[in-house]
C-alpha cells in the first residue's frame, strides 16, 4: 500500500452533495406481491418511465407516536456517506398514496 493512502475513504475525487430529488409515485405501479420486512411501512413501486423498481419507506409510526421526519435520516445518511466517498445507496424524497417518505433502488438488481 502506498504511504499516505487512506483505505477507508476515497478523497481522491472531490465529492459534492447531489441534493435529494422529489418523486411523486402516486401513479407508479405498486408491486403488492413483494415481501418487505422491518419496523417501518414500505412497499415496492415500479416507475412507468424506466420500468425500474424502487422501495418506498415511510417514517416509523408506533401506537400514538408518529415520527414524521424520521425518513430524513435515510436521506441524510446517504448524502453524508456519498460526500465521505463511501459507496452508499441513493435515497430521495417521495410521495406515495398521500404519504411522504423516502425512495431508493433495490440493493440487489
The reply to whether 43 falls in a domain is yes
The reply to whether 74 falls in a domain is yes
Which residue range is the domain that position 76 belongs to? 22-104
Residue 106 has pLDDT above 50, yes or no: yes
Sheet holding 92-96, edge to edge: 22-24, 92-96, 99-104, 53-57, 42-46, 29-30
What is the pLDDT confidence band of residue 16, given thresholds at 50, 70 and 90?
low
Distance CA 6, CA 3 (A): 9
Residue 46 has pLDDT above 60, yes or no: yes
Write the CATH number for 51: 3.30.200.120
The total of structural domains in the chain comes to 1
Residue 60 has pLDDT above 80, yes or no: no
The model carries a pTM of 0.73
The reply to whether 57 falls in a domain is yes
Give me the pLDDT at residue 90, please.
94
The reply to whether 37 falls in a domain is yes
Amino acid at each position: 500500500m502506498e504511504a499516505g493512502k487512506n483505505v477507508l475513504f476515497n478523497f481522491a475525487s472531490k465529492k459534492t452533495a447531489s441534493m435529494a430529488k422529489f418523486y411523486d409515485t402516486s401513479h407508479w405501479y405498486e408491486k403488492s406481491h413483494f415481501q418487505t420486512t422491518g419496523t417501518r411501512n414500505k412497499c415496492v413501486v415500479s416507475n412507468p418511465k424506466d420500468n425500474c423498481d424502487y422501495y418506498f419507506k415511510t417514517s416509523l409510526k408506533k401506537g400514538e407516536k408518529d415520527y414524521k421526519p424520521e425518513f430524513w435520516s435515510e436521506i441524510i445518511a446517504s448524502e453524508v456517506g456519498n460526500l465521505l466517498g463511501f459507496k452508499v445507496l441513493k435515497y430521495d424524497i417521495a410521495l406515495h398514496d398521500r404519504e411522504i417518505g423516502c425512495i431508493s433502488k433495490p440493493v440487489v438488481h
